[in-house]
Amino acid sequence: MMWANDLASDLLARPGQIRLVSLDADSVDALRMTLILQQSNDLTAEIRLMRGSLSATRADLMRELAAVLQFPYYFGFNWSAVDDCLGEMNWLWARYLVLLIADAGQLLLLENLEDLAIFFSLLDERLNPGPPSDEMFCMSLVLVDARERLEDLQLRAQRIGRELPPVERV
pLDDT tens column, 58-113: 999 999 999 999 999 999 999 999 999 988 877 777 778 899 999 999 999 999 99
- State the Cα torsion 151-15-123-161 to the nearest 10°: -50
Are 89 and 46 in contact, with CB atoms under 8 Å apart?
A: no
CATH of the domain at 113: 3.40.50.300
Domain count across the chain: 1
Best CA proximity match to 117, nearest among 58, 44, 35, 36: 58
For 2-28, what is each residue's pLDDT tens digit? 889 999 999 888 888 999 999 998 899
CA distance 134 to 107: 31
Q: Across the beta sheet with 138-145, what order do the strands follow?
A: 46-51, 96-102, 138-145, 18-22, 167-169
Listed in sequence order, the residues at least 6 apart from 101 whose beta carbon sits closer than 8 Å to its beta carbon are: 49, 50, 51, 52, 55, 107, 141, 142, 143, 144
Q: Which domain holds residue 62?
A: 2-169
Nearest-10 Cα torsion for 25, 30, 33, 37 = -170
Q: Is the pTM of this model over 0.85?
A: yes
